[in-house]
């Protein structure tokens, strides 16, 4: 089946759409080596078939949007193009329509030192725009359906990204990483989300790579300043230790209140770090069957959903 024939924005106007989950944890489960500054980009460079297999696992779980393995890739046009091509191959092999979202990670992600969870890099908006422009141009040239401006920790970086997008005709979503009702850089969320309210390129706003408990307040803040569809794809509740580069799982993980997120306006739902295909299959069950109905290879459903 070909990739999705209609714009993602049109689907979001009609119904909730299911994103995939964390690419890194799925690649790790497949036995891939994620060490080094490129992270998932290393696997894309050395073993692209493994990235396609990871995308395919989420398609089988019912995901309708695949996010490319370009999050931590800097200025490497060939590798950025490959990330879209590999996701496209998985989308075209699916039994249902699938959109490809090209991941544009923040400047801090390329530093590979946890800076994306802090923001405040000491760079001007002009410098940030100059950093992102060639990456975005390379990704757009590869033909994704939408750009995923994701894990943005700082409203200054969001402004730089929106400046690069302005007038391109591209479509994107803008997703902040948040904590305690603020961006990771400490800015009020309502102000951060308001930046996208008048940007025609932005089809949805929301949060990712955050604790599930931070999702609902963030969605409410976004809904107070924009009528755009909202999105949420948090982590599983584990806490990342940038010093030891390890995750610390909660002793008693709480179920996701996906119904409450939908009631708050979330139309694009999925998962980020440590959220695998079983979790996405659980979200698929919660959202209901795909329209039109298709036969999906069954994935075990995560009992926490």
Q: Partners of 99 in the beta sheet?
A: 65
Alpha-carbon gap, residue 58 to 38, rounded angstroms: 22
What is the residue-wise DSSP string for 17-67? Answer: EEB---HHHHHHHTT----STTTHHHHHHH-HHHHHHHHHHHHHTT-SEEE
Whether the per-residue pLDDT at 126 is higher than 80: the answer is yes
What confidence category does residue 2 fall into, taking pLDDT thresholds of 50, 70 and 90?
A: low
| 148: confidence class by pLDDT, cuts 50, 70, 90 | very high
Give the model's pLDDT for residue 223.
98
Matching residue, tokens 């696997």:
43
pLDDT at 217 over 80: yes
Alpha-carbon distance 238 to 212, whole Å?
10
Please name every residue paired with 152 in a beta bridge, in sequence order, or none if there are none: 176
Residue 77 is predicted with a pLDDT of: 96
**pLDDT above 90: percentage of residues in the chain:** 77
Q: 286 and 262 in contact (C-beta within 8 Å)?
A: no
Residue found by looking up tokens 């739902």 in the block: 269
Mean pLDDT of 92-121: 91
DSSP state of 214: G
Tell me what pLDDT residue 289 has.
84
The CATH architecture one would assign to domain 8-287 is Alpha-Beta Barrel (3.20)
Digit-coded pLDDT (tens) for 3-29: 777 899 999 999 999 999 999 999 999
Query: Residue 39 has what pLDDT?
Result: 79
Task: State the CB neighbour count (10 A cutoff) for residue 288.
Answer: 11
Longest CA–CA span in the chain (Å) reads: 50
Region 265-294: mean pLDDT is 89
Return all residues near 183 (Cβ < 8 A) that are at least 6 apart: 119, 152, 153, 154, 155, 176, 177, 189, 192
Domain boundaries, the chain: 8-287
Label residue 294 by pLDDT band (50, 70, 90): very low
pLDDT band at 299 (very low <50, low <70, confident <90, very high): low
CA angle 133, 139, 142 (to 5 degrees): 140
Q: What is the mean pLDDT of residues 65-84?
A: 96
Beta bridge partners, 17, equal 268
pLDDT in tens, 151-176: 999 999 999 999 999 999 999 999 99
Q: Is the pLDDT of residue 185 over 70?
A: yes
> Averaged over 245-270, what is the pLDDT?
88
Segment of 27-31, 121-125, 205-209 carrying the highest mean pLDDT: 205-209
Looking at residue 111, its pLDDT comes to 87
Q: What is the rounded average pLDDT for all residues in the chain?
A: 91
DSSP 3-state assignment of 231? strand
Q: Are 57 and 279 in contact (CB under 8 A)?
A: no
Q: How far apart are CA 76 and CA 24, in angstroms?
A: 20
pLDDT digits (tens, 9 = 90+) for 222-241: 999 999 999 999 999 888 77
């Amino acid at each position: 089946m070909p990739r999705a024939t209609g714009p993602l924005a049109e689907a979001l106007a009609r119904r909730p759409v299911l994103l995939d989950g964390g690419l890194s944890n799925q690649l790790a489960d497949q036995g891939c080596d994620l060490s080094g500054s490129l992270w998932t980009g290393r696997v894309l460079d050395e073993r692209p078939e493994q990235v396609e297999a990871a995308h395919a696992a989420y398609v089988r779980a019912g995901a309708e949007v695949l996010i490319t393995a370009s999050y931590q890739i800097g200025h490497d046009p060939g590798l950025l193009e490959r990330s879209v091509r590999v996701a496209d191959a998985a989308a075209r092999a699916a039994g249902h329509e699938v959109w490809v979202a090209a991941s544009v990670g923040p400047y801090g992600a390329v530093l590979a030192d946890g800076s994306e969870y802090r923001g405040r890099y000491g760079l001007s908006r002009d410098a940030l725009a100059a950093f992102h422009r060639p990456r975005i141009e390379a990704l757009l040239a590869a033909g994704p359906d939408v750009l995923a401006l994701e894990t943005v920790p700082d409203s200054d970086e969001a402004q730089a990204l929106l400046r690069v997008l302005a007038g391109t005709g591209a479509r994107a979503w803008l997703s902040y990483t948040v904590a305690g009702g603020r961006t990771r850089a400490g800015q009020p969320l309502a102000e951060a989300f308001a930046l996208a309210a008048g940007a025609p390129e932005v089809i949805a706003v929301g949060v990712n790579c955050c604790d599930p408990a931070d999702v609902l307040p963030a969605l409410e803040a976004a809904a107070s300043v924009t009528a755009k569809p909202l999105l949420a794809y948090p982590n599983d509740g584990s806490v990342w230790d940038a010093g030891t580069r390890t995750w610390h799982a909660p002793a008693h993980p709480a179920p996701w209140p996906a119904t409450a997120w939908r009631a708050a306006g979330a139309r694009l739902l999925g998962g980020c770090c440590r959220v695998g295909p079983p979790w996405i299959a659980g979200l698929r069950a919660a959202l209901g069957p795909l329209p039109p109905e298709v036969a999906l290879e069954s994935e075990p459903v995560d009992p926490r959903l």
